[in-house]
Amino acid sequence: MSDPALPRRPTLDLRSFTPARVALGRSGASLPTKALLDFTLDHARARDAVHAAFDTPRLIADLDALGVAVTEVRSRAVDRGDYLRRPDLGRQLDPGSAQRLARSISAPCQLAVVIGDGLSTAAVHSHAAIVVRRLLQSLAQGDAVAVRHVVVASGARVALGDEIGAILGARMVVMLIGERPGLSAPDSLGAYLTFAPRPGRTDAERNCVSNIHHAGLSHEEAAFKIAWLVREGLAREITGVALKDESADRAPRQIGTSSPG
């Protein structure tokens, strides 16, 4: 029984505000059994998210339902093991995919959207199609921005979008990709925006909208931020450290309050 004269431990209050592992308690010199089992389960979920197969037919079917034409490509990483051991291969298109992509060009475009598996296929399966749907809705409002190409890429790293965008002649590319799984969020999706994409672009030349998942940034809010960055990036012809995200100043009052989906 706690002594009412003693002050409350501030770490106990933190647990109501964060999924971080604080104030877990102890059993002798170790963690309590429940805390240890919870850690083991979350670690297993994170590992599963990395190694799970990418269900491209399911994703393409979801995108087809949105009425967008989809091109499927893959990187030079031949399998998941190759992808994890050789990050450089995930940044380069397979030659056959590059040729197929080049044949799909009808005219240069303002914006191409690439969806890559990244380090969490669970994130892509759970959130990518919904974010694309909401993004298309946001981009159709006001000064509309057309999405001429949607590409699904297997074995993808973020920089793969640079080569894809360059082949398509896109002024800007948005790469939606599974982020590195954490112990509290194995299904977090990230969005990376690059103006004038081409191989050799650095991370400093990209904007990132991250932590898109059910306990993080909602699909609606993520789409709003991405659409704002797309419009501003195209208008100013920049992305990255030169383009500050000021979308919160223009966000509708209720944004982010609706349930995901």
Is 208 labeled as ligand-binding?
Answer: yes
Residues 6+ apart with CB under 8 A from 7: none
Q: What are phi and psi of 149, to 5 degrees?
A: -130, 135
Is 246 labeled as ligand-binding?
Answer: no
Quote the CA–CA distance of 175 and 226 in Å, as a whole number: 11
Tokens of 120: 């969490």
Quick one: which of 250, 227, 248 has its CA closest to 139?
A: 227
User: DSSP letters along 115-152, please?
Assistant: EE-TT-HHHIIIIIHHHHHHHHHHHTSSS---EEEEEE
Is 132 labeled as ligand-binding?
Answer: no
Give the annotated binding-site residues for adenosylcob(III)alamin: 158, 179, 208
Give the annotated binding-site residues: 158, 179, 208
